[in-house]
Structure 1
Amino acid sequence: MIRAIRGATTVSDNDEQEIIAETERLLVEMVRQNDVRAEDVVSVLISMTDDLNATFPAKAMRHLDGWTYVPVMCMREINVPQALPKCIRVMMTVHTKRAQQDIQHVYLRDAIQLRPDLQLTKKSEI
């Protein structure tokens, strides 16, 4: 079965190293909480808000062992007034046996406010 795993995080500054580090942290946590293997990933979409442009967040995947062949695409988030600034969002599509309600979506840092309802089901505190 194919399922999507959502995730989001924020950064303090439009800084290449921070964007890559926080994106990697988010990806690692999404993988950990959902027992994802690289060969089970269909594709990964990563968006950033307009105030972030120092680097491609997909560079973070280069730090993950075995993820060389996983298709990834970066894009711009819709510029909605009052939206959470300096935000990186990930949509990871995977093959899994988990039921939809058993998928663990991951929200870190200030991005927790995007889906506080999903934080109640988290397996561990980050």
Structure 2
Amino acid sequence: MIRGIRGATTVLEDREDLILTATENLLKELIEENSIKPENIASLFISVTPDLTTAFPAKAVRHFSNWDFVPIMCMQEIPVQGGLPLCIRIMVHVNTAKPQDEINHIYQEQAIVLRPDLANTKSSK
């Protein structure tokens, strides 16, 4: 079965190094907390808010071993008034036998406000 695993983080400003580091840190935690193997990934979507324009966050995935053939797409979030700024979101579609309640969605930095219902779980750091 394919499950979606969500994650989000924020950066302090629109700089390539910050975007790539934040994306890499978020993806590392998603991988660790959900035992993700690249051969089990159907696709990876990464979105950014309109105020992040200095880097493609997918570039950070190049640092991961054996991820060469994972299909990745970057896109821009809908610019909703009052939305969380400087935000990077990830959706990994993974083939897994885990039930939904065993999936750990990860929210870091200011992105914790996106899912306060998960704020007290292991997945929200």
- Normalization by structure 2: what TM-score? 0.96
In structure 1, list runs of 5 or more residues that go unmatched.
none
Equivalent residue for 1:78? 78
Provide the secondary structure at the position in 1 that maps to 2:61: helix
Equivalent residue for 1:41? 41
**Cα distance in 1, alignment partners of residues 119 and 102 from structure 2:** 13
Provide the secondary structure at the position in 2 that maps to 1:54: coil
1:54 paired with 2:48, answer no
**Cα distance in 2, alignment partners of residues 33 and 118 from structure 1:** 14
Equivalent residue for 1:107? 107
Same amino acid, percent of matched pairs: 50
- Normalization by structure 1: what TM-score? 0.96
Shift, 1:118, TM fit:
1.6
Equivalent residue for 1:23? 23
**Cα distance in 2, alignment partners of residues 67 and 14 from structure 1:** 26
Runs of 4+ in 1 over 2 A off after TM superposition: none
**Cα distance in 2, alignment partners of residues 93 and 65 from structure 1:** 18
1:10 paired with 2:13, answer no
Equivalent residue for 2:120? 120
Question: Aligned residues, how many?
Answer: 125
The letter of the residue matching 1:92 is V
Equivalent residue for 1:69? 69
Equivalent residue for 1:89? 89
Provide the secondary structure at the position in 2 that maps to 1:8: strand
In structure 2, list runs of 5 or more residues that go unmatched.
none
The letter of the residue matching 1:4 is G
Alpha-carbon RMSD: 1.1
Residues 44-80 of structure 1, C-alpha deviation per residue, up to 9 Å, x if partnerless?
0000001000010000100011111100000000000
The letter of the residue matching 1:53 is T
